[in-house]
Amino acid sequence: MSHKRLFSLDNKVAIVVGGGSGIGEAVTVACARQGARTVCLDVDARAAEAAAARARAVGACEAGVLDVRDGAAVRNAFEEVRRRLGSLDVVVSTPGVNVRKPILDYTDEEFDRVVTLNLKGSFHVLRAAGRIMVAQRRGSIVLFSSIRAQVVEPGQSVYAATKAGIAQLVRTAAAEFGRHGVRVNAVAPGVVETPLTAPIKADAAWYSAYAAKNALGRWASPEEMVGPTIFLASDASSYVTGTLLVADGGWTAVDGRFWPPGM
């Protein structure tokens, strides 16, 4: 294959779950631009259609409604796409929610809400996509973890636990699906300007503190998560599986920002 074609998704069918906003919307547009017949699924029907309309300006895309908390709905949606379009080659899943609270203040309802969407929802996607891809003996699954799978701060307990859980689901699925030609990986973003992080952006001190924490000294845009995602979805990563691809501007690499005198 030509190196220029490594990142192509031509003749592939791609589902982007959570594709109606933020990183998911950027990935939806990118998959269509790279040649995939793309299906944008989101719990918000209007957001899904708006993202799909953007994607149709550069490629083939359709929209649908999906709540990843419903395992049967996920299975049925994926099977229906495979039946209509003939295969399922790429699945990217981005949905997530966070409740920032100290452990001692967390309620059972809040715990269940975060775990059900982030971890159980990701499991539903992984299982449904895996069943189809294992049977057809090819495919790439990309889930979204976070730097919080590796490093934490006060108020991030349950969110961090779910993101670490996603990393372990990915590693286990890679071990189980690999002999069938199916690759499973995760992207671990740092701070990205999305609806999920809007409360931080609204607080100037908090926003600036996060920007200063990483090596690049700034936040990422959703579009900056497209490159890592398309890499993992495409044949460019044909020998990559079970990986947590960290895209965090150097957040987890840098342990201190003091510049000694003379440097």
**How far is residue 23's CA from residue 150's CA, in Å, rounded to a whole number?**
20
Q: What is the mean pLDDT of the chain?
A: 95
Instruction: Note the pLDDT of residue 1.
Output: 58
Give tens-digit pLDDT for 137-156. Answer: 999 999 999 999 999 999 99
Instruction: Note the pLDDT of residue 185.
Output: 98
Give tens-digit pLDDT for 168-208. Answer: 999 999 999 999 999 999 999 999 998 878 888 888 998 99
Q: How many CB atoms lie within 10 A of CB 105?
A: 9
**How far is residue 206's CA from residue 202's CA, in Å, rounded to a whole number?**
8
> Taking the alpha carbons of 205, 27, 92, 112 in that order, is the dihedral positive or negative?
positive
Q: Are 248 and 214 in contact (CB under 8 A)?
A: yes
Confidence of residue 9 (pLDDT cuts 50, 70, 90): very high
Q: Are 139 and 186 in contact (CB under 8 A)?
A: no
Per cent of the chain over pLDDT 70 is 99
Average pLDDT in the 30-52 region?
Answer: 98
Instruction: Note the pLDDT of residue 195.
Output: 84
Give tens-digit pLDDT for 117-141. Answer: 999 999 999 999 999 999 999 999 9
One-letter amino acid for residue 4 of the chain: K
Average pLDDT in the 65-73 region?
Answer: 98
- CATH fold group of domain 8-247: Rossmann fold (3.40.50)
Instruction: Note the pLDDT of residue 200.
Output: 86
Instruction: Note the pLDDT of residue 5.
Output: 87
Instruction: Note the pLDDT of residue 2.
Output: 64
Tokens of 63: 């929209």
Instruction: Note the pLDDT of residue 97.
Output: 96
In the chain, where are the structural domains located? 8-247
Instruction: Note the pLDDT of residue 261.
Output: 85
Instruction: Note the pLDDT of residue 192.
Output: 95
Catalytic residues: 159
Q: Are 91 and 129 in contact (CB under 8 A)?
A: yes
Instruction: Note the pLDDT of residue 8.
Output: 97
pLDDT greater than 80 at residue 101: yes
Per cent of the chain over pLDDT 90 is 89
